[in-house]
Structure 1
């Protein structure tokens, strides 16, 4: 029987490391908004401390290019989520999550569909784990769709991160997500873009399950 988390529970939303970077996960402490048979919805608050893989010199992995980002040496960095918060919905049985973005003025900017492995839950450890599949979609407020990071998926294949067959399956998953958008299925139909975080919710503490090898100079809370 699935154990669901109560709203307000702090969990870790984890993107597992893979291949030569298997020991370097991306760990984001988040607060549960809703958790039931339909899926998990959680809030990444502004200023949340997190762990993320970066290049050995501290730069974001994307600076290594679409192939090098999968082959260059990485280290873990203790950092903080900057900018506005993000609401994330992980629909049950789907190989993607849907992220809700707002601008600094509070206006809703759009939906980000992050292709990823279906989540594996660890109720006792308060963790939900997945693997990022690189390819993404951006859905504008008018429901128009843009593909993102196609070059990075090609780079992942060139680097041996995915096989060509795995990349084809990821592209197929993206098309399945587009069909959900066109049908305006959940979670798109659930109007989460109007949601506002409760004023009394605190920013979660930094992850403690991994020891970073590179620490950011400053954490802002």
Structure 2
């Protein structure tokens, strides 16, 4: 630490939990169940997306967590139970929502959260285990509640899809435009999100971590069980598979 960066008297020591700096006590052990939360905003502030996940690795290089197929989760949906995007790129941000207790459908996702980046990188596989590609989800820097086993962010709508041949496809640009029209983001905020996407593209083109880390060959341990359903929110709707 340089003299210019030295903390003021009485401030937390670097590396202490109070300082918010990385330290052993701020990381979760592999196998720990956590909640990866996409917070609701505005009139939907009480409608988060809560995904229980299992920690694969957590250290100074970032958080890696597994969303297993069939995991029970809480998510916002339209009042008739449909996914919010079915309302269209503008109305999806303005229509009423309710919470649904559902399951993660399809194959599992391995998420990598690089430290300090406004995105996470998701690894997707086909049903036969073939690696399909990487998905860069633009999102706000995470806020971590270590004791509560929760990491929270806000989705920034825009995404990138990277095929195994490293071809890059921009996703959901119409929804970002719709978010501005709906007042979800200002034009300046949307411009910042697009700038973040370009920054991610530069890292993809440089093939830096986590793209070069070989996570596409990772497989979950056979003895890992599905996490329990979130209990922090009361759902209005419940998927048929979860009716007792």
TM band (smaller chain) = over 0.9
Cα distance, 1:218 vs. partner? 2.4
Q: 2-side partners of 1:47 and 1:218: how far apart?
A: 10
Give deviations 1:80-126, integer Å, cap 9, x for gaps.
00111000000000000000000001000000000000111000100
- Alignment map for 1:44-193 (pairs within 5 Å): 44-193=67-216
Q: Give the match's secondary structure for 1:34.
A: strand
Q: CA deviation at 1:67?
A: 0.3
Question: Aligned with 1:162: secondary structure?
Answer: coil
Q: Distance in 2 between matches of 1:149 and 1:185?
A: 24
Match status 1:13 vs 2:32: no
RMSD of the alignment, in Å?
0.9
Which residue of structure 2 aligns with residue 217 of structure 1? 240
Distance in 1 between the 2:208 and 2:242 partners?
38
SS of 1:218's partner is: helix
Give runs of ≥4 in structure 1 deviating > 4 Å. none
In the alignment, the residues of structure 2 paired with residue 157 and residue 60 of structure 1 have an alpha-carbon distance, to the nearest angstrom, of 20
Q: Deviations over 1:43-68 (max 9, x none)?
A: 00011000000000000001100000
Q: TM-score, normalised by structure 2?
A: 0.89
Number of paired residues?
220
Quote how far apart the aligned CAs of 1:189 are.
Answer: 1.1
Unaligned runs of 5+ residues in structure 1 are none
Q: Measure, in 1, the Cα distance between the counterparts of 2:115 and 2:68.
A: 23
SS at match of 1:115: strand
Q: Could you tell me how far 1:219 is from its partner in structure 2?
A: 2.6
**How far off is 1:211 after superposition?**
1.0
User: Between Structure 1 and Structure 2, whose CA radius of gyration is higher?
Assistant: 2
What TM-score results when the alignment is normalised by the length of structure 1? 0.98
Unaligned runs of 5+ in 2: 1-15, 17-21
